[in-house]
Amino acid sequence: MSSLFELEQKILLYNPSADIAFLRKAYNFAENAHRGQKRISGEDYIVHPLAIAIILAELQLDIKTVAAGLLHDVVEDTGVTLADIENNFGSEVARMVDGVTKLGKLQFQSREERQAENLRKMFLAMAKDIRVILIKLADRLHNLRTLQFQSERKQKEVAEETLVFFAPLAHRLGIYKIKWELEDLSFRYKEPEQYQHLKMQIAKTRAKREEYIQEVIRLLAEKLNAVNIRAEIQGRPKNLYSIYQKMVEQQKELKDIFDVQAVRVLVDTVKDCYGALGIAHTLWKPIPGRFKDYIAMPKSNMYQSLHTTVIGPNGEPVEIQIRTWDMHRVAEYGIAAHWKYKEGKQGDQDLDKKLAWLRQMMDFQHDARDAREFMENLKIDLFSQ
């Protein structure tokens, strides 16, 4: 089971000068406030805010956000007021807790209405402080991880809402690490039979696929080494839900989906990215139309990478992603990767600049094409009301 100690260790790894006393104070405050409350699992309630704080620490967020994660439910669920939070932890943490509490309170009659309204409020809140959204995503992720304790009806509802709203939100913010986990967990509860079936099928063919990928990695590593490009090459299993979506969209069986497993090449510099691409294309023939240069043209969620699909050594296609380590961090953590965890004045100024930039980026009016794409994902027409 997770502990405060584990949380502290995670934070100290990326922020050795973090104010651990402040964090402990937030933990003790939350633990006190929730004392006696239980999760449906029967565990003490504090395990939930603690798990959220750990997810936020894995995103390497600043200590105030982690503290707000610990405290996010106290105003809603206990006698503690926002003024208490402000007195003890300052206005920044209080504002975040308030933002999360407000989002949690939204309840509407029909599901459609609830989602559309939620969406708008979410974005309004985000324009003020995007960290509120990150806490909300962490909250949803932990609720999904512990969804087995809920009724079947509730499981389906949460899964559906996650696929329609929270996973696309994580996508939009570029936080793929969370997006993938949200999707796979939701898929498991929304379509339990399809999920289990696909999982089994993939497990059955895993050994053969991995053998092939290892061969690709070996050949590529050899050539990169020969031209002095330092690289780490990883075999990359794709998340189940994206495979399932491809099967449904393209009406194909698993055996006809070629990029079930792919290869990722991590290098030090942009120059090496293009160098590695050249090597891959001399080793194997690229499939026309499958090359994408998201380094020269980053996606609106800031994702950067080179993508190509080649006909690999045994004649089967392999997808290859090439990026620098810095790009890799953004690919996994998205917006959260841009956070400064510096404490004090300088840190705050940096944060202000980032937030101003984010507001601009998230402004739908200035981003009509992407907004449409996003809305299509969500199947909600924001402009209809």
Which residues make up the interface to ligand GDP (CB under 6 A)? 174, 176, 242, 292, 299, 301, 303, 307, 331
Q: Which of these is catalytic: 8, 77, 367, 370?
A: 77
Least distance from ligand GDP to the Cβ atom of residue 344, Å: 32
- Comparing CB distances to ligand GDP, the nearer of 64 and 177 is 177
Least distance from ligand GDP to the Cβ atom of residue 235, Å: 13
Least distance from ligand GDP to the Cβ atom of residue 163, Å: 16
Question: Residue 172 has which token pair?
Answer: 């939009």
- Comparing CB distances to ligand GDP, the nearer of 104 and 317 is 317
- Comparing CB distances to ligand GDP, the nearer of 174 and 312 is 174
CA dist 45 and 4 (Å) reads 14
Least distance from ligand GDP to the Cβ atom of residue 327, Å: 9
Burial code of 211-239, b = ≥16 C-beta within 10 A, e = fewer?
Answer: ebbeebbebbeeebeeeebebebeeeebb
CA dist 212 and 231 (Å) reads 19
- Comparing CB distances to ligand GDP, the nearer of 164 and 263 is 263
Residue appearing with tokens 């969370």:
178
Least distance from ligand GDP to the Cβ atom of residue 107, Å: 32
Strands 306-311 and 317-324, by their bridges, are antiparallel
CA dist 378 and 373 (Å) reads 9
Q: Which of these is catalytic: 43, 76, 326, 363?
A: 76
- Comparing CB distances to ligand GDP, the nearer of 189 and 303 is 303
- The one-character DSSP state at 335 is G
Nearest 5°: phi and psi at 237?
-70, 135
Count the neighbouring beta carbons within 10 Å of the beta carbon of residue 13.
11
Beta bridge pairs of residue 84: none
Question: Residue 280 has which token pair?
Answer: 């891959």
Active site residue 76: yes
Residue numbers annotated as active site? 76-77
